[in-house]
């Protein structure tokens, strides 16, 4: 009865729906995905076969996708798929190896956010449907780079970013994390280009322009991934290695040489790695994210290659997804915390095992400080882990600090209350018993009750769980972290701000990236120009190659009117496309009329090298600033 009371209370405490979901699901059915047109309750994709040619000149993929179907509803005669900007040539169906029969289909009017609903009418329930199509040069999930935008400067580059709902821009499918499928692929490229996918990439593969792939484990659509360019491989261990452009490969292998140790640590905590190989693909700096956990081949930004391994927690994060997210997936984006919150928690455990508790505590502190700042801007309805369904909402809204850092904080709370040994066994059982499945918050809560709360009834109350899951903000009883190393940074910063000590005399010789980040984040909103000059002369922040420092220094420079940083700031914004690193600077620039003009000029020089996702983010900030400026002049 206690399990029932917990879940029922959680459902009843959900905020009212802001508007009717696109699929009008029952309010207690969290598997209904309002971000997809698909109808997996009628038919589901079980396997996918791709045959695509990569055309760099026209910036498109062209070929066909063969969908192997599992029919759920005996009366169903329609297959509804998600697409965005796909040119559909024809669609066929068949059973077994019989002759293909052309099928009727209708492509609905495009929705700016969700693309076009593709409805295929079938005379009977075919086992296979084949769609002949081509992608758009402006596909939201693909980026095409001219040779000049790569490290080598001679070979073009293409890569995908399917999360959250961008897979539909390069493959017609059921673009929802509730549907998992296996896939095979044949990818044809120019002969001098190497192609890779989130599949069984062969480190010994010949570069011949014709590649085949198999992904035998079922994955959701957002983990579909492809890349093609001048890529070479070097091993880290028998099952792990790095793919990168030749100019980057050696630095990457050195920076990420602890990857095998990370795998072994995670296996010791949460069970075997179940995906065969674990390789890293180092993408150009235009990649919009830090990393993407595509199974067997994590996509990684080069901005974490700083020479001292201080940012390799990103590798721990993407590896952790091999258990949380890839193995056990959130059924919809409403439960994104099941993916990113779990992964951020596991990441921190890996960091603690490899680099010590002091570093893990510093990273937790930085992330939680960032969460507190983000909560100042996030509406209360979106500050909960168990998000309500909202028709028309952007699933990217779920990819914020609430899912990542509040989710991880909740799990650390459970760890402390139940004890680490018990909680580790609980998480391992969660991964084992839900492997290769898509799960909901209700399933997690039921598992939490049966595996921990019933056995240790005094450890955590139902009300405490509800406070994390459905209440905004951070509970007052959330565990706190004291970092002696950050206390020393606080003392040094205060000594300088109070003019008791010159910047060059501060005890910074042994500081890591984490301490420098905390030092800058604790500064006032703005400083006097003379203070900025002193800091820059002492620590050379302007022009730093460390993106974590740059993303904090340049906004501070702009707020402090330290315009001497502008040339280096411009180079940084033009070179880097990772949203986390560049958006704070754009947001600081647009706060003034003159800064808005400068930001617009820099963006015009930079946008050709930005991913479509990054372009959308920057253009939104610029547009809002222009609208505000126009309103102020009327």
Q: Say which of 318, 347, 415, 451 is annotated catalytic.
A: 318
In a shared domain, residues 195 and 299: yes
- Return the structure tokens found at 135: 């992608």
In a shared domain, residues 87 and 208: yes
* Parent domain of 97: 43-320
User: What pairing do the DSSP bridges indicate for beta strands 328-330 and 437-439?
Assistant: parallel
Domain end marker among 446, 470, 494: 470
Q: Say which of 126, 133, 211, 404 is annotated catalytic.
A: 404
609 lies in a domain? yes
Domain end marker among 428, 451, 470: 470
- Predicted local confidence at residue 25, as pLDDT: 37
In a shared domain, residues 198 and 303: yes
Checking if the pLDDT of 363 tops 80, the result is yes
The structure tokens 């085949």 sit at 212
CATH code for the domain of 172: 2.60.40.1730
In a shared domain, residues 290 and 359: no
Checking if the pLDDT of 22 tops 80, the result is no
CATH code for the domain of 388: 1.10.390.10
> Per-residue confidence at 629, pLDDT binned at 50, 70, 90?
confident
* Among candidate residues 103, 108, 161, 158, the one with its CA nearest the CA of residue 132: 103
- Return the structure tokens found at 417: 């209350």
Over range 355-369, report the average pLDDT: 96
- Return the structure tokens found at 393: 């909402």
- Predicted local confidence at residue 149, as pLDDT: 87
Which residues lie below 8 Å from residue 367, measured CB to CB, with a gap of 6+? 344, 401, 404, 405, 408
In a shared domain, residues 53 and 141: yes
CA 95/CA 115 separation, integer angstroms: 29
Q: Look up residue 15 and give its DSSP letter.
A: P
364 is catalytic: no
User: What pairing do the DSSP bridges indicate for beta strands 78-83 and 116-121?
Assistant: antiparallel
In a shared domain, residues 64 and 166: yes
Over range 276-297, report the average pLDDT: 94
Over range 482-506, report the average pLDDT: 96
Checking if the pLDDT of 573 tops 60, the result is yes
Cβ atoms of 462 and 6 within 8 Å: the answer is yes
32 lies in a domain? no
CATH code for the domain of 598: 1.25.40.320
- Predicted local confidence at residue 138, as pLDDT: 94
Instruction: State the total domains in the chain.
Output: 3
CA 512/CA 309 separation, integer angstroms: 10
In a shared domain, residues 464 and 546: no
Cβ atoms of 350 and 316 within 8 Å: the answer is yes
Over range 118-122, report the average pLDDT: 98
In a shared domain, residues 302 and 358: no
508 lies in a domain? no
Cβ atoms of 588 and 563 within 8 Å: the answer is no
274 lies in a domain? yes
In a shared domain, residues 146 and 67: yes
72 lies in a domain? yes
- Predicted local confidence at residue 470, as pLDDT: 95
335 lies in a domain? no
In a shared domain, residues 153 and 295: yes
Handedness of CA 450, 451, 453, 458 (dihedral sign): positive
The structure tokens 């791709």 sit at 50
- Predicted local confidence at residue 17, as pLDDT: 31
Cβ atoms of 282 and 243 within 8 Å: the answer is yes
Domain end marker among 277, 305, 320: 320
318 is catalytic: yes
- 3-state DSSP call for residue 53? strand
365 lies in a domain? yes
CA 474/CA 379 separation, integer angstroms: 14
In a shared domain, residues 316 and 360: no
Among 56-60, 565-569, 629-633, the least confident range: 629-633
497 lies in a domain? no
- Predicted local confidence at residue 634, as pLDDT: 58
- Predicted local confidence at residue 325, as pLDDT: 95
Average pLDDT, rounded, for the chain:
93
In a shared domain, residues 101 and 228: yes
- Predicted local confidence at residue 3, as pLDDT: 33
Model confidence, pTM: 0.92
Q: What percent of the chain has pLDDT over 90?
A: 88
Q: What percent of the chain has pLDDT over 70?
A: 95
124-163 pLDDT per residue, tens: 999 999 999 999 999 999 999 999 888 888 999 999 999 9
Mutual angle of helices 420-433 and 407-418, in 10-degree steps: 120
SS3 content of the chain, % helix, strand, coil (to 5): 40, 20, 40
Over range 537-564, report the average pLDDT: 97
Cβ atoms of 330 and 177 within 8 Å: the answer is yes
Checking if the pLDDT of 610 tops 60, the result is yes
245-273 pLDDT per residue, tens: 999 999 999 999 999 999 999 999 999 99
The string of DSSP codes covering 104-162 is EEEEPPPBTTTBEEEEEE-SS--SEEEEEEE--TT-TTEEEE-GGGSSSSSS-EEEE--
């Amino acid at each position: 009865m206690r399990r029932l009371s917990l879940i029922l209370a959680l459902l009843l405490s959900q905020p009212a729906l802001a508007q009717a979901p696109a699929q009008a699901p029952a309010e207690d059915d969290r598997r209904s995905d309002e971000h997809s047109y698909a109808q997996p309750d009628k038919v589901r994709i079980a396997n996918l076969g791709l045959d695509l040619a990569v055309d760099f000149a026209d910036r498109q993929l062209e070929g066909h996708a063969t969908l192997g179907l599992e029919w759920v509803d005996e009366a169903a005669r329609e297959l509804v798929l998600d697409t965005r900007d796909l040119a559909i040539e024809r669609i066929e169906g068949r059973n077994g190896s019989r002759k293909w029969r052309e099928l009727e289909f209708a492509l609905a009017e495009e929705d700016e956010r969700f693309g076009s609903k593709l409805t295929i009418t079938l005379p009977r329930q075919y086992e296979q449907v084949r769609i002949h199509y081509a992608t758009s040069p402006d596909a939201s999930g693909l980026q095409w780079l001219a040779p000049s935008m790569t490290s080598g400067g001679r070979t073009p580059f293409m890569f995908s970013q399917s999360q959250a709902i961008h897979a539909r821009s390069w493959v017609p499918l059921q673009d929802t994390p509730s549907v998992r499928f296996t896939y095979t692929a044949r990818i044809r490229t120019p002969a001098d280009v190497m192609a890779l996918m989130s599949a069984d990439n062969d480190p010994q593969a010949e570069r011949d322009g014709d590649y085949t792939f198999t992904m035998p484990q079922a994955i959701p659509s957002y983990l579909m991934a492809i890349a093609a360019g001048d890529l070479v491989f070097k091993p880290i261990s028998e099952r792990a290695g790095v793919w990168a452009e030749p100019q980057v490969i050696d630095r990457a292998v050195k920076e990420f040489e602890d990857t095998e140790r990370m795998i072994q640590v995670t296996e010791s905590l949460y069970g075997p790695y179940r995906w065969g190989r674990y390789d890293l693909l180092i993408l150009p700096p235009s990649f919009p994210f830090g990393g993407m956990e595509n199974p067997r081949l994590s996509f990684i930004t080069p901005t974490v290659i700083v020479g001292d391994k201080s940012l390799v927690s990103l590798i721990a994060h993407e590896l952790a997804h091999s258990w949380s997210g890839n193995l056990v997936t959130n059924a919809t984006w409403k439960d994104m915390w099941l993916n990113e919150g779990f992964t951020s928690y596991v990441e921190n455990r890996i960091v603690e095992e490899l680099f010590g508790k002091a570093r893990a505590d510093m990273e937790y502190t930085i992330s939680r400080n960032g969460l507190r700042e983000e909560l100042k801007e996030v509406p209360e309805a979106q500050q909960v882990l168990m998000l309500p369904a909202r028709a028309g909402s952007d699933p990217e809204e779920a990819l914020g600090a609430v899912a990542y850092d509040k989710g991880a904080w909740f799990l650390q709370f459970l760890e402390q209350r139940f004890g680490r040994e018990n909680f580790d066994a609980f998480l391992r059982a969660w991964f084992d018993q839900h492997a290769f499945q898509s799960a909901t918050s209700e399933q997690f809560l039921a598992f939490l009750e049966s595996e921990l709360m019933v056995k240790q009834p005094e450890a955590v109350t139902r009300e405490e769980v509800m406070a994390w899951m459905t209440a905004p903000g951070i509970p007052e009883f959330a565990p706190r972290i004291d970092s002696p190393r950050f206390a020393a940074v606080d003392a040094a910063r205060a000594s300088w701000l109070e003019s008791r000590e010159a910047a060059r005399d501060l005890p910074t010789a042994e500081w890591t990236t984490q301490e420098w980040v905390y030092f800058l984040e604790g500064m006032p909103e703005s400083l006097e120009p003379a203070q900025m000059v002193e800091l820059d002369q002492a620590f050379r922040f302007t022009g730093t190659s460390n993106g974590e420092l740059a993303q904090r220094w340049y906004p501070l420079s702009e707020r402090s009117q330290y315009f001497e940083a502008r040339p280096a700031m411009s180079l940084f914004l033009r070179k880097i496309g990772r949203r986390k690193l560049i958006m704070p600077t754009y947001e600081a620039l647009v706060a003034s009329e003159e800064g808005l003009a400068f930001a617009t000029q820099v963006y015009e020089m930079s946008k050709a090298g930005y991913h479509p996702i990054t372009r959308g983010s920057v253009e939104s900030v610029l547009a809002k600033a222009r609208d505000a400026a126009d309103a102020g002049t009327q």
